[in-house]
């Protein structure tokens, strides 16, 4: 499962460019609003830290997966939101500022929550704990790739609003092309893995992706969170930092178990496709509501 040069070097560069462009759609006031009205952020954290791991645990038990695969799924559920969640949020016309805030906060919290979930999963599925610590360097990478460029884009919007408005459509087009290319690259790179484990892990990953998106949207709506913010929570729950989980699973200094990396590798492909379909459904519903 070694990454190609395109994915290991080109992907971070492309993400920086995309996140800079997405930041042009956000005002600094939007970030301040998230902090001054923290209810949607708190609901999103509740979904991430409590509901999602419990949902994943239920799916794993029902599927009766092998221990290593089960641990990989649990680590995936506990991982922070992926940087691509902001792109999907933007395409679905959700609250981009909230999406970025969720990525930042869950990334910081993962320093503490991921080791806890690792130990819990090892005890449940293996009967033994594993002392694993998440390095600060891995969390800082998320900030450098996603949060910092988006903040720079927001600063540009604050000083040059006309330029930001003109760039809105090209950025959406570029984001769409980027996502299509990312999905295709993932499919080609992991084709052997998906063929081998598709019938079992693929089915569970697909069910988890669908449930994550639905729960991430419906729970906030039931708790009186606005639609745009519910979309941000949904995408943040549906798109995880699968690369972080793969690194944890395969590193000889951490879990050193490549089998645990299979679920996040499969999910990394499936989630992009499922989230794309969900974005299409949300946009069609919004267009139908506007036409009514």
**Residue 270: is its pLDDT beyond 80?**
yes
This prediction has a pTM of 0.73
**Could you count the other beta carbons within 10 Å of the beta carbon of residue 166?**
11
Strand partners, 81: 240
Weakest mean pLDDT among 139-153, 156-170, 179-193, 219-233 = 179-193
* Stronger pLDDT, 278 or 285, i.e. the higher one: 278
Q: According to DSSP H, which parts of 9-147 are helical? A: 11-23, 28-36, 39-46, 52-63, 67-78, 84-91, 96-126, 136-142
How far apart, in whole angstroms, are the C-alpha atoms of residue 52 and residue 244?
17
How far apart, in whole angstroms, are the C-alpha atoms of residue 63 and residue 252?
28
**Residue 257: is its pLDDT beyond 60?**
yes
DSSP E strand stretches across 121-197: none
Instruction: Domains for the chain: give ranges and CATH numbers.
Output: 5-285 (1.20.1530.20)
In 3-state terms, the chain is what percent helix, strand and coil (to 5)? 85, 0, 15
* Most confident segment among 59-63, 139-143, 163-167, 188-192: 59-63
The DSSP code for 190 is: T
Average pLDDT across the chain, whole number: 76
* Long-range pairs, 243-251, Cβ under 8 A, ≥24: 243/268, 244/79, 244/80, 244/110, 244/138, 245/72, 245/75, 245/76, 245/79, 246/1, 247/138, 248/75, 248/114, 248/118, 248/132, 248/134, 249/72, 249/75, 250/1
pLDDT of amino acid 234: 95
How far apart, in whole angstroms, are the C-alpha atoms of residue 203 and residue 163?
45
**Residue 231: is its pLDDT beyond 80?**
yes
pLDDT (tens digit per residue) in 77-111: 988 877 678 889 988 889 888 888 887 778 767 77
CA–CA distance from 149 to each of 82, 88, 115, 141 (Å)? 15, 17, 28, 12
pLDDT (tens digit per residue) in 169-211: 676 566 556 655 655 555 565 566 556 656 778 888 899 999 9
Q: State the pLDDT confidence band at 212, using cuts at 50, 70 and 90.
A: very high
pLDDT (tens digit per residue) in 32-82: 777 788 899 999 999 999 999 999 999 988 888 888 888 889 988 988 877
């Amino acid at each position: 499962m070694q990454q190609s040069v395109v994915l290991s070097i080109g992907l971070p560069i492309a993400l920086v460019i995309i996140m800079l462009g997405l930041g042009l759609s956000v005002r600094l006031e939007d970030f301040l609003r998230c902090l001054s009205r923290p209810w949607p952020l708190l609901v999103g954290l509740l979904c991430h830290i409590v509901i999602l791991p419990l949902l994943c645990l239920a799916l794993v038990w029902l599927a009766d997966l092998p221990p290593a695969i089960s641990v990989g799924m649990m680590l995936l559920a506990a991982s922070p939101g992926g940087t691509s969640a902001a792109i999907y949020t933007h395409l679905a016309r959700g609250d981009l500022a909230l999406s970025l805030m969720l990525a930042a906060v869950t990334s910081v919290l993962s320093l503490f929550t991921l080791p806890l979930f690792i130990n819990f999963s090892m005890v449940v599925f293996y009967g033994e704990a594993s002392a694993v610590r998440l390095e600060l360097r891995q969390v800082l990478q998320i900030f450098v790739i996603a949060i910092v460029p988006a903040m720079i884009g927001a600063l540009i919007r604050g000083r040059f609003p006309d330029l930001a408005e003109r760039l809105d459509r090209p950025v959406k087009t570029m984001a769409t092309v980027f996502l299509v290319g990312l999905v295709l690259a993932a499919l080609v790179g992991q084709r052997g893995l998906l063929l081998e484990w598709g019938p079992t892990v693929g089915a569970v990953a697909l069910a988890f992706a669908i449930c994550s998106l639905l729960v991430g949207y419906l729970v906030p709506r039931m708790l009186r969170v606005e639609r745009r913010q519910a979309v941000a929570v949904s995408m943040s729950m549906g798109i995880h930092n699968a690369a972080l989980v793969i690194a944890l699973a395969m590193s000889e200094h951490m879990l050193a178990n490549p089998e645990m990396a299979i679920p996040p590798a499969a999910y990394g492909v499936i989630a992009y496709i499922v989230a794309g379909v969900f974005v299409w459904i949300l946009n069609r519903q919004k267009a139908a509501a506007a036409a009514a």
